[in-house]
């Protein structure tokens, strides 16, 4: 089976990760790589490590794209830009922005300050939670990177928790390619930057699926890729670490990209792959459970998960192109 795919917003970090995965995916034919800022330029001219000298960014109109009869389009655009574009596309869509992640548009408007009047009802693209729905979806809203790591850490334990604290640290690629304080070398080098310490947007994304009280604080660390979530769970009753670990193994036993580890996971376990590794499972004298989950923010936290969703949508082996 060959899937005809295209990317809108192909020149950013997540767009480039999509190009790398899809150009090697045995079931995919890449039809276009739209980029307003790099139309006509080769991918290699922007990313020196890319192996194909011929592949170029494109600048097709939406009308031209709709006439190509593509099967799926990845939209890797800033929040707000996807709202209008996705409505006009005929193909199935996997959107990597935040524009369709909220089932309640009023919460999205409050969190992002953007009005979304579209009639699109997207499926939230966390396979570990919504695999059946993703398979049938016309539009999939790819989750945020922090939300992915936190949700995978918290889903099995939330009913046993009175409160959860997520202390998260991400490589600076999580801030995107556009210049910002947190992704400039002079700021993050030999440094850790905490930001949006109580009201980060992903907190409200997580709260859609975790009904326990949560607190969330993100930090940027001096590495390009990788994200660690250290989750502190105040348990309702006296907990047993081994029983809790077994509960996690049972919860994720059929998940191809979640590994429950015996050691405390670290970024080197997940950089450049699509896995989420979960470990730790220690309980202190205050009956506080600590669990650590790690992902590559550009892969399981973005483009890798998007391709995982595509594989599910088209009935392809879930790990194709990702292992």
- In whole angstroms, how far apart are CA 204 and each of 112, 147, 151, 213, 284? 10, 9, 12, 11, 28
What integer best gives the mean pLDDT of the chain? 96
Is pLDDT of 117 > 70? yes
Check whether 146 has a pLDDT greater than 90.
yes
The CATH number, out of the four listed (3.40.50.720, 2.40.50.460, 3.10.129.10, 3.40.50.460), of the domain defined by the range 3-142+302-313: 3.40.50.720
How far, in Å, are 7, 196, 223 from residue 47 at the CA level? 16, 31, 18
191 to 87, 188, 265, 266: CA distances (angstroms): 42, 5, 22, 19
Helix (H) or strand (E) holding 86: helix 81-88
Residues 228-278 have pLDDT tens digits of 999 999 999 999 999 999 999 999 999 999 999 999 999 999 999 999 999
Catalytic annotation present for 145: yes
Using a pLDDT cut of 90, give the percent of the chain over it: 93
Alpha-carbon dihedral sign for residues 171, 173, 175, 181: positive
Picking from 32, 204, 7, 225, the residue whose alpha carbon sits closest to that of residue 112 is: 204
pLDDT for 206 equals 98
Residue whose entry in the numeric block shows the structure tokens 């009047």: 117
Which CATH number applies to 146-295: 1.10.1040.10, 2.30.40.10, 3.40.50.10490, 3.30.360.10?
3.30.360.10
| Catalytic one of 145, 168, 276, 277 | 145
Q: What is the pLDDT of residues 135-144, one digit of tens each?
A: 999 999 999 9
Residue spans in the chain of domains classed CATH 3.40.50.720: 3-142+302-313
Q: Can you tell me the mean pLDDT for 156-165?
A: 98
* Other beta carbons within 10 Å of 212: 17
- Phi and psi at 303, nearest 5°, equal -70, -40
Alpha-carbon distance of 187 to 212, in angstroms, equals 35
For residue range 176-232, list pLDDT tens digits in order: 767 778 778 788 889 999 999 999 999 999 999 999 999 999 999 999 999 999 999
Find the DSSP H helices in 164-254.
185-188, 201-206, 241-251
Q: For the chain, give every residue range classified as CATH 3.30.360.10.
A: 146-295
pLDDT value of position 174 = 77
Q: What is the pLDDT of residues 163-183, one digit of tens each?
A: 999 999 999 997 776 777 877
Query: How confident is the model over 54-109, as pLDDT tens digits?
Result: 999 999 999 999 999 999 999 999 989 999 999 999 999 999 999 999 999 999 99
For the entire predicted model, the pTM comes to: 0.96
């Amino acid at each position: 089976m060959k899937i005809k795919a295209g990317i809108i917003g192909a020149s950013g970090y997540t767009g480039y990760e999509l190009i790398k995965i899809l150009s090697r995916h045995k079931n995919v034919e890449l039809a276009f790589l739209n980029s307003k800022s790099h139309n006509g330029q080769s991918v290699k001219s922007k990313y020196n490590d890319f192996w194909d000298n011929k592949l170029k960014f494109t600048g097709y109109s939406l009308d031209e794209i709709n006439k190509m009869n593509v099967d799926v389009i990845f939209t890797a655009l800033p929040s707000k830009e996807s709202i209008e574009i996705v409505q006009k596309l005929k193909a199935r869509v996997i959107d990597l922005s935040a524009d369709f992640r909220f089932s309640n548009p009023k919460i999205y408007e409050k969190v992002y300050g953007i009005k979304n009047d579209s009639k699109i009802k997207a499926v939230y693209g966390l396979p570990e939670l919504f695999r059946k729905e993703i398979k049938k979806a016309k539009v999939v809203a790819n989750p945020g990177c922090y939300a992915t790591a936190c949700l995978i850490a918290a889903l099995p334990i939330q009913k046993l928790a009175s409160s959860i604290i997520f202390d998260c640290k991400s490589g600076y690629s999580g801030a995107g390619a556009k210049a910002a304080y947190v992704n400039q070398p002079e700021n993050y080098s030999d440094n850790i930057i905490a930001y949006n310490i109580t009201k980060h947007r992903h907190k409200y994304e997580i709260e859609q699926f975790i009904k326990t009280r949560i607190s969330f604080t993100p930090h940027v660390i001096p590495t390009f890729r990788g994200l660690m979530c250290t989750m502190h769970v105040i348990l309702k009753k006296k907990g047993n670490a081994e029983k809790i670990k077994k509960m996690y193994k049972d919860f994720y036993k059929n998940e191809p990209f979640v590994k429950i580890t015996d050691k405390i996971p670290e970024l080197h376990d997940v950089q450049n792959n699509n896995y989420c590794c979960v470990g730790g499972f220690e309980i202190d004298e205050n009956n506080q459970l600590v669990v650590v989950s790690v992902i590559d923010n550009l892969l399981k936290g973005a483009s890798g998960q998007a391709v995982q969703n595509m594989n599910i949508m088209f009935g392809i082996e879930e790990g194709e192109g990702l292992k």
